Structure 1
Amino acid sequence: MHISAVETGRKPPTLRFSRSADKAFGIEGTADAFEHEYRELQHGSLLEGFPEYVGHEGRAVEIRLFEIGIIPGLLQTPAYARALADGDVRRGTITPEQAAERVSILAERQATLVRSRPPTMLVVMDESCIRRPVGGTEAMNDQLQRLVDFAALPNTHLQVAPYVIGERRPFNLPINLLTMSDRSMIAYAESQARGHLDRESTFVLSSLSAYHQLQAEALSQTESVALIEQLRKGTP
């Protein structure tokens, strides 16, 4: 039996198995949850706080993202994601095995969004995200098309924060804001060295207010898609 194999260490637990065990024992979403342990094992090479964030992200009913420099992970194509990971391997910051793990985890995160009632997704990207070439002409062209397709979905809203807003951009680091089914909110922010997960209401509400200001300063979705299309068509 699979349960026996997991208990004896002959097989690793899967995400589905971990969630089923949590449900059976009534420990879903707790610090003792099997899913928490699963993600710690699977995501051991990632930034502090990120594995826990991913667990919440897969259950969120609303996801707000802001990114600088690269396309947000949940919107990346496989080729774009591999190019970024391979770049880190060439710089010696991660191993080839860690690069493969990173791409696999991203695919898993994206898969959790494909469900009967997908979360509402609000995404603001700094203009640098769409102007920075990654992975060569073909990969970048496909990535820009992916953004256009994403913006056309009924549960999404995509905006570009143009360079001209200058100092009015409220965030200087990427930030993710999650709204859960009970309407509680979680904020996750990253620096180069670590990630930070926060449920403290003052910080989260302050970040949400700043996000609303960012949306007001950013291009509309129609203007954003037009800019992305312009860049895509300009790619040979």
Structure 2
Amino acid sequence: MNRRDIDPTTSAAAAFGARLRSLRDERGWTQEDLASRIGCTGSHISAVETGRRSPTQRFAAGADRALGTSGRLERQSRSVRETSLLEGFPEFVALEASAAEIRLFEVGIIPGLLQTPDYAEAITRGAVRRGAITEQQAEERLTLLAKRQDSLLRSPAPLVYAVLDEGCIRRTVGGPQTMAAQLDHLLLLAERSSVVVQLTPFDLGERRAFDLPVTLLTLRDRSQIAYSESAQSGRLERETRYVQPLVTAYHHLQVEASPQEQSLAAIEQLRKGTP
């Protein structure tokens, strides 16, 4: 029986899952044993233990009753529900860290993997000012982003294909100086043999394949994963029947997008107008 490793340091959901598994193992119970005591399925227990599904208050309270943990799991589950990370994202990040290829499409802002610290800070602080996240959640996001960016420096480096909507480079974030540094950073990244940057100009219109951000991962075993999100939810897809159409659409997007040389020239031209 395959047993997926859990790194409790990656997220609050992973920490909860690791604790749940530890308590279950101490009692010699299978996932089905615990599930029957809570009133759910063994697959649900598996999803919570591996961080693929967040524990609801009802689930955590049921686990406390079954395991005799006097409300400790319910209290710990609050940190999972209060996190700023969308469901599915922690598992995606773990896969991203070892992916052989990463394909990105973003609308409106520079993708996190390509952001400078000041740009990322400006985006995150904006969310705090709007009341969308707390200061603690902002720090969680920035810490995780730095860890994700470090993974690009591993050897061998992953191949990164980034297709950016034109609005990503034209929307000023953090003021002119922060934006200028961000554009410089994009140009530097594109000098790496492992990074390709392309723009989809506004006049691409209906030929743009995606309306929402999407990330496609090719893992070392050549399997593919898709992650997409809206403002309130994230979705991780592993099944080929769902992932393959997105891969095909991404290839069409790359064909329709401006070539890298033309895209970098557009970024350089815009950069000349910043301090």
Task: Establish whether TM, by shorter chain, passes 0.5.
Answer: yes
In structure 2, do the counterparts of structure 1 residues 144 and 42 end up closer, same or farther at CA, with 3 Å as the change threshold? farther
1:7 — aligned with what?
none
1:99 — aligned with what?
138
2:126 — aligned with what?
87
Matched letter for residue 219 of structure 2: M
- Does 1:216 find its partner at 2:248? no
Trace 1:194-233 onto structure 2 (pairs within 5 A). 194-233=233-272
Match of 1:123 among 134, 137, 162: 162
2:97 — aligned with what?
58
> In the TM superposition, what whole-angstrom CA distance separates every residue of 1:140-188 from its partner, at most 9, and x where no partner exists?
0000000001111011111000001101111010000000000000000
Q: Hey, which bits of structure 1, 4+ residues long, moved more than 2 A?
A: 37-40
The alignment-based identity, stated in percent, is 52
What stretches of structure 2 of length at least 5 have no aligned partner?
A: 15-79
Q: Which has the higher contact order (CA 8 A, sep 6+)?
A: 1
1:225 partner SS: helix
- How far apart are the structure 2 equivalents of 1:72 and 1:151? 14
2:190 — aligned with what?
151
- How far apart are the structure 1 equivalents of 2:119 and 2:270? 16
1:60 partner SS: coil
Matched letter for residue 181 of structure 1: R
1:34 — aligned with what?
6
Larger Rg: 2
Matched letter for residue 237 of structure 2: D
Name the Cα RMSD after superposition. Answer: 1.3
Give 1:38 shift.
3.0
What stretches of structure 1 of length at least 5 have no aligned partner?
A: 1-25
TM-score (norm 2): 0.73
> In the TM superposition, what whole-angstrom CA distance separates every residue of 1:98-124 from its partner, at most 9, and x where no partner exists?
111111110000011111201000000
Give 1:97 shift.
1.3
- How far apart are the structure 1 equivalents of 2:93 and 2:254? 24
2:47 — aligned with what?
none
- How far apart are the structure 2 equivalents of 1:129 and 1:67? 7
Give 1:231 shift.
0.8
Matched letter for residue 144 of structure 1: L
- How far apart are the structure 1 equivalents of 2:146 and 2:109? 17
Matched letter for residue 152 of structure 1: E
Matched letter for residue 41 of structure 1: A
- Does 1:186 find its partner at 2:225? yes
- How far apart are the structure 2 equivalents of 1:232 and 1:100? 29
